[in-house]
Amino acid sequence: MQQTSRSLIFLLSLVFLSLIFSDARKANLTGGWSPIQNISDPHVTEIAEFAVGEYNNESKASLKLEKVVKGETQVVSGMNYRLALKAKDEATEKTYEAVVWEKAWQNYKNLTSFNLVKG
């Protein structure tokens, strides 16, 4: 009887520990960046258009969005979008990285960064 109790306690301890460590691994992923599967999604294009428009307003530039090359999202208090996009000013097309923070339920967007990508 004592051996059975020890075995049961040991088995339950193993199950409990595995649950704790699996939750810890998931917690490390919270807030991480995930690739956007469909960069042609109209909402992704809307976010990119917003980023270019805000950049133009802030810097008095005249970039025009050509296309979204790739993107990632990050769950925060809302959603961060990190997009690699091609934009053109007059005749020169360049690649930029834009980060936009969106709170869709508040109809809120904020351009966090917009930088020229080297290379």
The pLDDT of residue 118 is: 75
Q: Would the pTM of this model clear 0.85, i.e. be above it?
A: no
**Euclidean distance between CA atoms 114 and 108, whole angstroms:** 18
For the chain, the structural domain boundaries read 1-30, 33-116
Residue-level pLDDT, tens digit, the chain, 119 residues: 667 656 556 544 554 545 444 443 344 356 899 999 999 999 999 999 999 999 999 999 999 999 999 999 999 999 999 999 999 998 899 999 999 999 999 999 999 999 999 75
The pLDDT of residue 116 is: 97
Sign of the torsion angle spanned by Cα atoms 116, 90, 45, 94: negative
46: which 2 tokens?
A: 């809307």
- Domain covering 33-116 in this structure, CATH number: 3.10.450.10
